[in-house]
Structure 1
Amino acid sequence: MSDTGSVPSRRGLLFGGAAIAAGTLAAGCTSNEEKEPAAAAQTAGGGDNDKPGKHVTIGFSAPAADHGWLAAITKNAQAQAKRYSDVTFKPVEPTNDINQQISAVESLISAKVDALVLQPNDGGQLNQVARKAMDAGIPVVNLDRVFPDKLSYRTWIGGDNYGMGVAAGHYVGRRLKEKGIAKPVIVEVQGIATLPLTQERSKGFADALKSYGFSVTARQDAKFTVETGNQVAANLLQAHKRIDALWNQDDDQGVGVLAAIKQAGRKEFFMVGAAGSANAMREIKSGGVLEATVTYSPTMAGSAVRVARLIAQGKGLSDLVELQVPQSLTLASETVTKQNVDRYLPLGFES
């Protein structure tokens, strides 16, 4: 794409964008090559951004896949990149070592990739190397764990942790009202209690429950692991002879939670999960204690690759009037139940 004429330059697109948030990504997007791009954006019927354009190289770095959700992040990014003949996907070795990830990102900067999709192990500790990429003219699509400095990324895309809690809380609240339970026993199995994302999920859950006149009876963290999920659930089941609803904040650790419930033979309550794993959806479909899960889908990595391609090619989103990809994209937390599980199952990840 040319940097001359009425179309904004790549650097202008990179650093001059308006910061607007969008809940969902358009599947089809329209090029900004027209003489009247705003009018074209409003009238486009699906656009043609999926057609081959300028060839671009997209660098990719993420943490090691020691968790089902994290493994799905890399798989989704790779699968999306393969859809485009005009994209060369350049991943580096996944790692949980901060210094190794910094070095890997520096290698992508040296390789002069056209865009970089980066899910940092820690946003604060990788902030400077992301800023280094931006200063070198490489747009960074910050995935999931946000950098504290907005100058360190062109666009952030991720899930809504507070919204996950709200969605779970509304499901639990409505179901308890339907059952006519006035003073329910509600237990919550958290992820890692000290993480802001865990705290945001808990706050959203509590806020939604409050609108029904309910509150959490007991809460314990399970470290996002199957083993700890099993132990924590067993402890909660032993401590509460009656439970009306259980919210588990992570479907990966939910494998252990469900095992503890089945081992205890408890069936008097219903459970809601979180993240949207395939095994959780299969449990929902089977009609057991797990009735629903709220999404925090790793498909966001595929969307991040699509966004990086658009930015590198100087394109925008077809359903928006603006010329540029938004600065922030927060994905909706959707509630998966037995009624709609077949639609969501293809997007589920394996725990």
Structure 2
Amino acid sequence: MARLKVEVATETLRFAAPFRISGYVFETSDVVVVTLGDGMYRGRGEASGVYYMGDDVPAMCAAIERARPEIEAGPDRAALRDILPPGGARNAVDCALWELEAARAGCFVWELAGLPPPRPLRTTFTLGADTPEAMAQAARRDVSARSIKAKLTGELALDIARVRAIREARPDVWLGVDGNQGFVIDELPALADALKTCGVSLLEQPLARGREADLDGFVSPLPIAADESILSFAELERALGRFDIVNIKLDKCGGLTEGLMIAAAARQLGLGVMVGNMVGTSLAMAPGFILGQLCDLVDLDGPTFLAHDRSPSVDYRDGDIWVGPEVWGSPMAVAA
């Protein structure tokens, strides 16, 4: 492999409005953008890391700097999995390698991945936690949304009121909720029954990471998805018997290469597959869109929270996301 020039930039993305989940309120999101070039071609990758694991911008930059000599040597994507651990640093470098390889080959990333031409994907649009009335109003306002995911905070009675208000406001949409680790096992029967009554189709990460065994023997009336509980390929088997669906985020697992591996292995284990995102620009959503072609559920709405996105950008229309070849993953996207 040719030696690579490694450029690392950091950016602060500002939210259009404060965004609340269980235990956190976000107004900005810091990201790392890696550009790899060989003198003729280049590739890019964006990562925001995993905030609840301390995988922030300083940590990502430090990891890339430690691995800089090995990255500059031009590893392939398989070798990169041995150079960097799962997390945002590897995600940014891995996605840059995918785009660089596509530019060199004069093709699209989806072709490199052995996939058919991509199609628009139905994506969820996320409602940050707020009062039931405010969340219902937000659901009504986003008339184009066909799938909604509501953030909960672990306040059982209030969360149930939130879901009921959203469902009353939008009886037409697919509805899921994200507990963001806010509940304990003793609360799950009441929560799950109320969600089922409201026509909720998915309960994501109700318990804290590390409490997966608490789900042993729990029979849920609706599917439960693992997010924080399953970070990487190495942790996938802990989902068995506890979760129905695995939410793959490229920042967690370390890039599109490992994301595709998790999706294939999850299918073999009888698990459903979802692609999600940490907040990021269209550059961060584009690799997830490739993975989303293999998924049952898609949650790629990160740019909708931002005051400003990159240009060119992904297209949200009639509840779907579309990523054109000019955004990422083709020679067109990195043409000088």
TM-score, L = length of structure 2: 0.30
- Structure with greater Cα Rg: 1
Bigger RCO (CA 8 Å, 6+ sep) = 1
Structure with more of its chain in strand, by fraction: 2
The alignment's TM-score, normalised by the length of structure 1, stands at 0.29
